[in-house]
Amino acid sequence: MGRSEPVRVTWKGEGLLFEAETPHGTFALASGLDEPGNGVTPMETLATALAACTAMDVASILVKMRQPLKAFSVEVSGERAEEHPKRFTSLDVVYHLTGDLDERKVERAISLSEERYCSVEATLRPALPITSRFVIES
């Protein structure tokens, strides 16, 4: 069993602005109550982690399947509880792909990511429902 490298969040000395430091880079965090553009919120970070994790899996799998992927993005949105803690109660993942792709191979790549490879989804799935769909644009 491996242990992850630590990440650190440091208060910037005013409001609810923080800087996140990871072994691979830094980024600004904010509460969402601050002015837009000051940083991403923790919940945006969580949704982004899911999107990035599955996107990297799916892109890698499609390349290995020799699929002519021209453009690719993943969108994650969620429903949130109205009372504190305002956690996600469900998440929806939409894969947007461009290229002359085999639909069955796209389905397989997404399935492998969701069920086997994406550690973020594996962490979240026991706690809330996650739905997904894909759109292939030529």
Residue 38 backbone class (left: φ over 0; alpha: ψ -120 to 50; beta: rest):
alpha
Convert the pLDDT of each residue in 43-83 to its tens digit: 999 999 999 999 999 999 999 999 999 999 999 999 999 99
Determine contact, residues 72/59, Cβ cutoff 8 Å: yes
Angle, vertex CA 134, rays to CA 128 and CA 138, nearest 5 = 165
Predicted pLDDT of residue 37: 78
Q: Which fold has domain 42-137?
A: GMP Synthetase; Chain A, domain 3 (3.30.300)
Determine contact, residues 124/130, Cβ cutoff 8 Å: yes
Convert the pLDDT of each residue in 35-48 to its tens digit: 777 899 999 999 99
Helix axes 103-112, 42-64, angle to 10 degrees: 130
Residue 15 has pLDDT above 90, yes or no: no
Confidence of residue 138 (pLDDT cuts 50, 70, 90): confident
- For the chain, the farthest-separated pair of C-alpha atoms sits apart, in whole angstroms, at 52
Residue 29 has pLDDT above 90, yes or no: yes
Torsion angle defined by CA atoms of residues 103, 123, 90 and 72, in that order, rounded to the nearest 10 degrees: -30
Convert the pLDDT of each residue in 109-118 to its tens digit: 999 999 999 9
* CA-based nearest residue to 94, from 75, 107, 108, 78: 75
